Amino acid sequence: MASLQEVPLPGTALAEELDQRLLVVLRDGRKLLGTLRSFDQFANLVIEGAVERIIVGEQFGDIPMGLQIIRAENVVLLGRVDEAIDAPEGLTRIPAAQIKEAQKGEKELNKLKSTIRARMDFLDLD
């Protein structure tokens, strides 16, 4: 029995994380916070009370997402978050609507940068 306890059964790696408040990082870079309620051997996840955390510069905000079922292949990592450190150090929390606006602004700036680059490529200044 001792050896059985040392080696966990296959696919049970996340059992210790059940009902814990976790940070889930997804492959597209998005970050969800929520409580892990279920998982399977592939690490498909069920997250309750999820919020998407958006960070733009020195500001961050949480968008409520409710119950989320996440397909395993999109999961990068799960981290146990210290509930005492709710806000990332040095960042200011702003309301959901405002952080969405800030994110939109950042996206448009990046788009503009790549458009300019594409045009320069087209001109081929070499």
Partner 1 sequence: MLFFSLFKTLVGKEVTVELKNDLCISGALHSVDQYLNIKLTNTRVHNEQKYPHMMSVRNCFIRGSVVRYVHLPPGAVDVEVLHDATRREARGG
Partner 2 sequence: MADDGETATVKEPLDLIRLSLDERIYVKLRGERELRGRLHAYDQHLNMILGEVEETLTTVEIDDETYEEIIKTQKRVIPFLFVRGDGIILVSPPLRS
Residues that bind partner 1 (CB under 8 A): 8, 10-11, 13-14, 17, 23, 25, 27, 29, 31, 43, 53, 55, 60, 72-73, 75-82, 85-86, 88-91
Print the SS3 string covering 7-73.
CCCCCCCCHHHCCCEEEEEECCCCEEEEEEEEECCCCCEEEEEEEEEEEECCEEEEEEEEEEEECHH
- 11 binds, options partner 2, partner 1, none, Cβ within 5 to 8 A by partner type: partner 1
DSSP letter at 90 equals: T
Least separation in angstroms between residue 87's CB and partner 1 is 9
- 60 binds, options partner 1, partner 2, none, Cβ within 5 to 8 A by partner type: partner 1
Q: Which amino acid is at 115?
A: T
Nearer to partner 1, 16 or 48 (CB): 16
Beta-bridged to residue 47, according to DSSP, are 36, 68
Concatenating the DSSP letter of every residue in 93-109 gives: E--HHHHHHHHHHHHHH
- 89 binds, options partner 2, partner 1, none, Cβ within 5 to 8 A by partner type: partner 1
> Per CB under 8 A, which region of 16-24, 68-76, 79-87, 116-124 contacts partner 2?
116-124
**Interface ranges with partner 2 (CB under 8 A):** 116-117, 120-121, 125
